Amino acid sequence: MKIKEVIAKTGLTDRAIRLYIENGLVTPNNEKSYTGRNNYNFTQSDVEVFEQIALLRKADFSLEQIKILKLGGESAKEVLMAYLTAKQESVVAGQKIVEALKDFPMQESVTMENICTKIKESLENTPLPDADRKATKGELLEKWLMRIPAIIFLAVWGLLGIDMLIIYRKDFTFPRFYAYPEYYIGIAYVLIPIILSVVVLLLYRKHQFRSKKRKKRRWIAGIALAIALLVCIQPVGLASLFLIPPIYSETDNPENYLRMGDYVKMYGNDIYKLFPTNIPRSAIAEGSKWYPPDKFLDTTKYYYYYQDAVDPSFNVYAEWVLPKDEFTEELNRIQNYYPEGARQQEQWGEWICLSFTDDTLDFSEAKEKIDYYYLIFAYNEKMSAVRYIASYSMDCGRNEDPYFLELQWQ
């Protein structure tokens, strides 16, 4: 049976049962779970021993005395005689017990069972000692001295972590992780105090009554809190939250067409003007549902990338092949949206590229620029193919070429 059943049968508290087990008075079958938790399995015999221990504790026998009584023999007789002597010296406090045991026949073997038989009726309504039912003041003080800082760390850094998660989720729609360890300083700065705080709270949730175990637990919890404090007050971690985020956002799945983070959406008027609202039906493979589609032609491509290291950068790109009539309609759509015409027009291979931004559309110049914004519509009359490109970078010091330089234009 489990510990809850023993509690129901004996009326003992969870603390009392674990205290008696810790002191070796009861040794139930114990299977460790994968988390290290004790899964006790008690027998009816164990229940009877618990009841006997409870009676002896009510009679003010110490745990050490009960342990000797459980073994029996001459040592048990000595314990009983010492107990009777002590009780006789305090007649008022131990009158009921003395009356129950003073005529105990010493020629008989002294066991827990026959002592309990003698005193059971006298102690029917006597409560267990406080030490068996609740923690001592010292234990409670230690517990809260350790738990309060852990709770504060967990609350403050937990809220910080949740806030970061919300902010990142808004901008990093398709999160990916950087491969460089130094990019994870910010995550470590938030997670280490949270993890250490949880460790402390778990340490002071477990029942440990032996002085050696309590001392070990105290040292572990103290070191954990000290490390958490040192992590929180050091400036490098705080700076890392604002300098380098640990993730970026990237997808090349057309199913994710124009699903962008909040920062990129700030430019939505320009991007949504250039990019069609939906991928055209002619770019979707047969057998796919119409919208949102889940199957695409090989000629249908999409790419979205966003990162923010000091300052943001993003690339949005789409390409597909259209039937001749739809191809002509798309050229007319772009012309209607931009009646003033393109700011610049260049031919790269078989592609005509129209730029609708002030930045110069030039391969050689673009390779040297680190701050730019390109909004490009390109079309290939021979293939009836179209391309839509939004390429942006305000990442000072980052040597990253605009996305259109990576495409094949021949």
pLDDT beyond 70 at 48: yes
In a shared domain, residues 16 and 128: yes
pLDDT beyond 80 at 278: yes
Mean pLDDT value of segment 14-32: 85
Distance, in Å, from the CA atom of 207 to the CA atom of 13, rounded to the nearest integer, reads 12
Q: What is the pLDDT at residue 15?
A: 85
Tell me which residue range forms the domain holding 359: 252-406
Dihedral angle, C-alpha 112, 115, 118, 121, nearest 10 °? -50
Helices 185-203 and 211-233 pack at an angle, to 10 degrees, of 160
In a shared domain, residues 51 and 82: yes
Distance, in Å, from the CA atom of 410 to the CA atom of 395, rounded to the nearest integer, reads 30
Q: Is 389 helix (H, G, I), strand (E, B) or coil?
A: strand
Q: Residue 354 — pLDDT band, cuts 50, 70, 90?
A: very high
Most confident of 111-125, 129-143, 315-329: 315-329
pLDDT beyond 80 at 254: yes
pLDDT in tens, 219-237: 998 999 999 888 888 777 7
Q: Which residues contact 142 (CB under 8 A, 6 or more apart)?
A: 214, 218
Q: Are 256 and 379 in contact (CB under 8 A)?
A: no
Q: What is the pLDDT at residue 323?
A: 95
Q: Which residues contact 233 (CB under 8 A, 6 or more apart)?
A: none
In a shared domain, residues 367 and 299: yes
How many angstroms from the chain centroid is the CA of residue 172?
19
Q: What is the pLDDT at residue 93?
A: 46
Compute the half-sphere exposure of residue 67: CA atoms within 13 Å on the CB side of its CA.
Answer: 11
In a shared domain, residues 239 and 113: no
Q: What is the pLDDT at residue 209?
A: 62
Q: Are 88 and 80 in contact (CB under 8 A)?
A: no
Q: What is the pLDDT at residue 376?
A: 94
In a shared domain, residues 214 and 320: no
Q: What is the pLDDT at residue 304?
A: 95
Comparing CA positions, the residue from 80, 15, 6, 14 lying closest to residue 50 is 6
Q: What is the pLDDT at residue 92?
A: 54
Q: Which of 133, 148, 183 is where one domain is finished?
A: 133
pLDDT beyond 90 at 301: yes
Q: What is the pLDDT at residue 196?
A: 92
In a shared domain, residues 227 and 287: no
Burial 105-132 (b: 16+ CB within 10 A, else e): eeeeebbbeebbebbeebbeeeebeebb
Total tally of structural domains belonging to the chain? 3
Helices 44-58 and 112-119 pack at an angle, to 10 degrees, of 60
**DSSP secondary-structure letter at 296?**
B
In a shared domain, residues 145 and 216: yes
Distance, in Å, from the CA atom of 365 to the CA atom of 143, rounded to the nearest integer, reads 66
pLDDT beyond 80 at 33: no
Q: Which residues contact 129 (CB under 8 A, 6 or more apart)?
A: 57, 58, 60
Q: What is the pLDDT at residue 303?
A: 96
pLDDT in tens, 57-85: 888 888 888 888 888 888 888 888 888 88
pLDDT beyond 60 at 87: yes
In a shared domain, residues 26 and 104: yes
Burial 328-361 (b: 16+ CB within 10 A, else e): eebbeebeeebeeebebebeeeebbbbbbbebeb
DSSP sequence for 51-108:
HHHHHHHHTT--HHHHHHHHH-SHHHHHHHHHHHHHHHHTHHHHHHHHHHHTT--TTS
Mean pLDDT value of segment 160-178: 84
Mean pLDDT of the chain: 83
**CATH code of the domain in which 100 resides:** 1.10.1660
How many angstroms from the chain centroid is the CA of residue 227?
19
In a shared domain, residues 260 and 396: yes
Q: Are 284 and 296 in contact (CB under 8 A)?
A: yes
Q: Which of 205, 221, 243 is where one domain is finished?
A: 243
State the greatest distance between any 2 C-alpha atoms of the chain, in Å, as a whole number. Answer: 117
Dihedral angle, C-alpha 159, 161, 166, 168, nearest 10 °? 160
Most confident of 126-130, 204-208, 278-282, 291-295: 278-282
Q: Residue 249 — pLDDT band, cuts 50, 70, 90?
A: very high
Q: Which of 176, 208, 243 is where one domain is finished?
A: 243
Place of tokens 């300098």: 243
Q: Report percent pLDDT > 90 for the chain.
A: 25
The DSSP H or E segment spanning 32 is: strand 29-32
In a shared domain, residues 190 and 122: no
Mean pLDDT value of segment 140-153: 87
Distance, in Å, from the CA atom of 219 to the CA atom of 381, rounded to the nearest integer, reads 75
In a shared domain, residues 390 and 303: yes
Q: Are 314 and 392 in contact (CB under 8 A)?
A: yes
Record the tokens describing residue 39, joined without a space: 């899964």
In a shared domain, residues 197 and 257: no
Q: Long-range contact list for 39-42, CB < 8 A, 24+ apart?
A: 40/2, 40/3, 41/1, 41/2, 42/1, 42/2, 42/3, 42/5, 42/6
Q: Are 216 and 223 in contact (CB under 8 A)?
A: no
